[in-house]
Amino acid sequence: MMVYWYECLLLYIVFFLVPTLGVDPTCECVVYQSNGLSQGHFHSPDYPERYPTNLNCVLYSFIGDVNEIVEINFVEMDLKPPTIYPNRQCTDRIRIFKNLDRAGINENSRHDHELCGNLSNLEDKKFFSSGRALVFEFHSEFSSSPRYTGFKGIYTFLEKSAFSTDGVLEIGTQCTWHFQSATKQTSGKFFSPKYPQKYSRLANCRYIFNGRESEIVKVIFNIIKLPKVNTQRSGCDGVGDVIRVFDGRDSTGKLLNEICDTQNQVQTQSTGSYLYIEFMSDSHHEKQGFSAVYDFVTEFPDVDTTVISGGSLQNPGSTSKFTYHVYFQT
């Protein structure tokens, strides 16, 4: 891991737009460069002491290799709470830029998340980049005396291919995937759209598994993070973000499982060589989604046997006997 602290002249491009719309050109930078799937810690200035007031801008930039994505995980946070009146506003804040084409931002860059207050009040504590870079900006306003300790977190550079669905994407669709059993490929992984980032609203995805004649399909959803379901509901009835598993080629098959809310290690399997999964989301929610694995498994049929003859044998010179039966397959 390599860390640099300097004025952000390399990562920042000045466009001389209205300063309040983007990142200030006088930012200082802390840069974390990957050494190959590496991991480390980051924190606010002077942590765990109180961070300085009137910090115009500090940029934390995480730059992975071309085959990596970035995960940041906030484990401590103590920033000034947001104002309530006349509207919610973070004055001491963290702004996260996670969908970057390159390792740099400018005054045109729009942040994806804004954080402030206490860690317990955050809806999300982990954030993932879509590409090799992630940047967040830390800003504090002027105050007569520091009061808050700031933040601490862990960053990790992850192998991007670990989150790639192993099927074939149907042309003209965003998330209709086909999985065909083959001699050299009988297992793999699949994910909700954009995983480990949040899936988009109004997702409409299909995962279609086609095994060979002697195979069944087994699926394990290792991680499921969908919107929390009201405890007064019965199962997933009326839930907008849901996974449905059908025993067959399409949704006309028997419904094997309907999955919602947050769960882990949910297993299901087909009775034949086909399995059909659909994932749908409504217009209100965006969550992380799911991570799953599949396996085409050869199933040997039960063999019915019938006794057609029997008797007993005795070894010469022995008083013990053993019984034998002759079987044939029906």
Does one domain contain both 39 and 157?
yes
Residues 226 and 77 in one domain: no
**Side-chain half-sphere CA neighbours of 227 within 13 A:** 18
**Tokens 């730059």 sit at which residue?**
63
106 and 69 part of one domain: yes
10 and 126 belong to one structural domain: yes
Token pair 């083959």 is found at 182
> Is the same domain home to 149 and 51?
yes
Q: Which is higher by pLDDT, 146 or 15?
A: 146
Domain endpoint, select from 161, 182, 199: 161
Q: 102-140 pLDDT, tens per residue?
A: 878 888 889 999 999 999 999 999 999 999 999 999 999
pTM (predicted TM-score): 0.81
pLDDT tens figures, 40-73: 999 999 999 999 999 989 999 999 999 999 999 9
Burial of 67 (0-12, 13-18, 19+ CB in 10 A): middle
- Given 103, 131, 161, which residue is the final one in a domain? 161
Residues 110 and 150 reside in one and the same domain: yes
Residue 308 has pLDDT above 70, yes or no: no
Q: Is the same domain home to 125 and 22?
A: yes
Separation between Cα atoms, residue 219 and residue 178, nearest integer Å: 14
| Total domains in the fold of the chain | 2
Pair 272, 191 in one domain: yes
Asked whether residue 180 falls in the same domain as residue 143, the answer is no
Q: Residue 313 falls within a domain, yes or no?
A: no
CATH of the domain at 226: 2.60.120.290
* Residue 182 pLDDT greater than 90, yes or no: no
pLDDT at 10: 39
Contact between 52 and 149 (Cβ < 8 Å): no
